[in-house]
Structure 1
Amino acid sequence: MRKLSIIGMPMDLGQMRRGVDMGPSAIRYAGVNERLKPLFDEIHDLGDIPIGREEVVVDKESNLRNLDLVAEKNANLADKVDEAIQSGAFPLVFGGDHSIAIGTLAGVSKHYNNLGVIWYDAHGDLNTAETSPSGNIHGMPLAVSMGIGHPALTEIGGYAPKVKPENIVIIGARSLDDGEKILIKEKGIKVYTMHEIDRMGMTKVMEETIAYLKDRTDGVHLSLDLDGLDPVEAPGVGTPVIGGISFRESNLAMEMLEEAKLITSAEFVEVNPILDDKNKTASVAVALMASLFGEKLL
């Protein structure tokens, strides 16, 4: 029996632009339940994790924005994801900004000895308090999940790290800070920038990614930031970077992941309807989810 648990995480505390808290609503409004219903025996939409909102609080020691609240809410998300997996369901999380990946991975990773992660994103999200230009935690979740960062974040779920650097593949990178570049080289993280995607083609990139992760992991989490796509096709994101992956390439990537039966959990993040054009970005997200879960044209 194929079960899906949907968890909304309407959190905008990891960055400064309001509106991304409405991402889960926008994705639901774009018809996600109806689109995915034929692909599962059961779909349980567990609603949204309540976030609340305080004034922006900058931690005096670390200079991180909203540290305590981001940590608390991610711990709540980790519990929900953990419960979904225990119930035998595939956990699908709607963001929210990308700091929610801290909680998703904390809930997922405890069920695997060697979790793999595909980070589909324009950014590396490998900053720390020391390297971040902004102090925004949505630029840090991958570093945090490797056990690098503030202990309030790295220790969510009571263990660290959640993922090993050799089990990570970043796809679509085209905006990396200096500290992130150093960390990528130090840790040997596999990265396919837009240069590789243009040069090799998405088919080759995905074939290599699947082959790389298949033998070394016992589960793979997909963390898809809509800003991985080109802003022409996904305009409703907080940190758009021109020259991104096309919808067609992304759709192919999702179809190849489905064929490989590789993905065991997923999240789609950074949909901001305030910055969007007629909910276009949420609709793109839903179409990619459908391909990931096996929707076929014929």
Structure 2
Amino acid sequence: MITLVPYHQDERLPDSSFPLPGPDVVPVTRDLPEGGVWERVAALFELVSAEVADQVAGGTRPTVVSGDCLTSEAVLAGLQRAGVDAAVVWFDAHGDIHTVESSTSGYIGGMPLRQILGADTGLLADPLGLRPLPEDRAVLVDARDLDPAEAEFLASSRVRHCPVDDVALPDGPLLLHIDVDVIDKEDLPGLKFPVGGGPSYDAVVASVRRILATGRVAALDVACPWHLPEGDDDAVRARLLRDLLTA
């Protein structure tokens, strides 16, 4: 079963943005309330968190696909609700460790990992009942495009920063989060935030498979911050999602 959250923040995306393998897809959508983006996202994520918790209670490992990395907060909150104390392994070309104060762009998709670690809890963590994760239980994989404030935080934190071919896993169950832009932009067309100089498509898939093979992944969360496909782009994306979700 694949849980599809077809949103980028509070923007509803066409289902065609996600060429998912197989017919067993459960979409999570709702009419979002009036208000600011954080209130709207929190309302959506309450449903996602409940769905994840229900799947864990029913003996299913949740697999969640969405349009951005914020959804990871709902997935982790759902695991915690179900009694799973998961560490986080975070594949991303970016750090996603800004606070509201440190961000120069204001892009909220650059904040979820830092919020998981306990920053700005009133925005999503408190509404979702998300307990902060200790820094030494978070692993940031790749993250080659860091703003100065992010690099400064990492230098003084206990977050592990690893390459894709040498991921140091924390103990216990894992939330495996994959932002597909961790793949070098030459290997994956159409990304909203492409970054060069990164690992190949094959290297990322191989690393993900090694982690899944440990049997410790409690939930798999895949973020697809890409534009609507053009031409052959859709075939590449479909292959990537198949490779990640059926590993």
Aligned to 1:226: 180
Q: Which moved more, 1:150-159 or 1:175-184?
A: 150-159
Deviation at 1:131, TM superposition (A): 0.9
Does the 8 A contact of 2:76 with 2:130 survive in 1?
A: no
Aligned partner of residue 199 in structure 2, secondary structure: coil
Deviation at 1:159, TM superposition (A): 4.2
Between the two proteins, the alignment pairs up a number of residues equal to: 245
What are the Cα deviations for residues 198-245 of structure 1, in whole angstroms up to 9, with x where unaligned? xxxx1xx03xx23xx1xx32x101110010001122223211101121
Q: How does 1:12-31 map to 2 (within 5 A)?
A: 12-13=8-9, 21-22=13-14, 25-27=16-18, 29-30=19-20
| One-letter identity of the residue aligned with 1:9 | V
Does the 8 A contact of 1:127 with 1:143 survive in 2?
A: yes
Whole-angstrom CA distance in 1 between matches of 2:25 and 2:134: 31
Aligned to 1:294: none
Aligned to 1:11: 7
Aligned to 1:251: 205
Does the 8 A contact of 2:89 with 2:177 survive in 1?
A: yes
Deviation at 1:255, TM superposition (A): 2.3
Structure 1 spans left out of the alignment, 5+ residues: 35-43, 60-65, 292-298
Whole-angstrom CA distance in 2 between matches of 1:255 and 1:68: 35
Aligned to 1:45: 25
Percentage of pairs with the same residue = 23
**Structure with max Cα Rg:** 1
Aligned partner of residue 126 in structure 1, secondary structure: coil
Whole-angstrom CA distance in 2 between matches of 1:126 and 1:45: 30
Whole-angstrom CA distance in 1 between matches of 2:161 and 2:59: 32
The structure-2 alpha-carbon separation of the partners of 1:25 and 1:93, relative to structure 1 and needing over 3 Å to count, comes to: farther
User: Does residue 190 of structure 2 align to residue 190 of structure 1?
Assistant: no
Does the 8 A contact of 1:11 with 1:51 survive in 2?
A: no
User: Does residue 91 of structure 2 align to residue 120 of structure 1?
Assistant: yes
Hey, which of these two has a bigger chunk of helix by percent?
1
What are the Cα deviations for residues 55-88 of structure 1, in whole angstroms up to 9, with x where unaligned? xx7x6xxxxxx12111221222111111111111
Does the 8 A contact of 2:185 with 2:194 survive in 1?
A: yes
Whole-angstrom CA distance in 1 between matches of 2:33 and 2:242: 27
What are the Cα deviations for residues 266-294 of structure 1, in whole angstroms up to 9, with x where unaligned? 11112425155431224212212222xxx
Which of 122, 143, 146 does residue 117 from structure 2 map onto?
146
Which of 22, 25, 29 does residue 33 from structure 1 map onto?
22
Whole-angstrom CA distance in 1 between matches of 2:209 and 2:81: 27
Given the two structures, how large is their TM-score scaled by the length of structure 1?
0.74
Aligned to 1:96: 67
Which of 103, 111, 120 does residue 132 from structure 1 map onto?
103
Which of 265, 276, 288 does residue 244 from structure 2 map onto?
288
Aligned to 1:170: 140
Whole-angstrom CA distance in 2 between matches of 1:51 and 1:133: 30
The structure-2 alpha-carbon separation of the partners of 1:70 and 1:244, relative to structure 1 and needing over 3 Å to count, comes to: same
Structure 2 spans left out of the alignment, 5+ residues: none
| One-letter identity of the residue aligned with 1:47 | P
Aligned partner of residue 121 in structure 1, secondary structure: strand
Aligned to 1:71: 42
| One-letter identity of the residue aligned with 2:22 | N
| One-letter identity of the residue aligned with 2:58 | S
User: Does residue 214 of structure 2 align to residue 260 of structure 1?
Assistant: yes
Does the 8 A contact of 1:229 with 1:244 survive in 2?
A: yes
CA RMSD of aligned residues (A): 2.4
Deviation at 1:157, TM superposition (A): 2.6
The structure-2 alpha-carbon separation of the partners of 1:159 and 1:241, relative to structure 1 and needing over 3 Å to count, comes to: closer
Does the 8 A contact of 1:91 with 1:266 survive in 2?
A: yes
| One-letter identity of the residue aligned with 1:83 | D
Aligned partner of residue 107 in structure 1, secondary structure: helix
Aligned partner of residue 52 in structure 2, secondary structure: helix
